[in-house]
Every structure is written in C-alpha cells, then in structure tokens.
Amino acid sequence: MGRYRAIMTDTDRAYISGEGNPSESQRMQSISRVRSRINDELTKDIDVLEEHHPELLEELREVVCEEDGDPDE
C-alpha cells in the first residue's frame, strides 16, 4: 500500500524548503496550494472528525498543537 500525503506533496516540501533550487514562482505556487488545503480541505476534515470521531480529532490536535515539535514526548 502506498503512502498518503498530509498537507504537502513531496514536491511542495521540496519547493517550500528550497531543495533543488525551485524558482520563486514554483515556491509561491506550492505555498498557495498548501494554504488552500489548510483553509479549505483541512477544515472540512476537522468538521467530519468533530462529528463522527472526536478521539481522532484529538489525536490530530495533539500533533498539530505540540509545542516542542516532538510528538513522541
């Protein structure tokens, strides 16, 4: 079974991090796509989880809201 992406594709990660020397246009397009996923798709996913699986929503919040950046602690 293949891996699923979260908010960013491998290409988005590379362009936003500057790997492979993307053009400024490529970088800005990736930023725009990710922003759209956060503001549109992720909010829909949160609504579904809130209604149908609040425990899973809490797991998402723990990962996203982790203060020190290490979700294993």
Q: What is the pLDDT of residues 22-41, one digit of tens each?
A: 999 999 999 999 999 999 99
Half-sphere exposure of 6 (CA within 13 A, CB side): 4
pTM of the model: 0.77
> For the chain, how far is it from start to end, CA to CA, in angstroms?
28
Q: Is 47 helix (H, G, I), strand (E, B) or coil?
A: helix
One-letter amino acid for residue 47 of the chain = D
Distance CA 53, CA 47 (A): 10
pLDDT at residue 67 in the model: 72
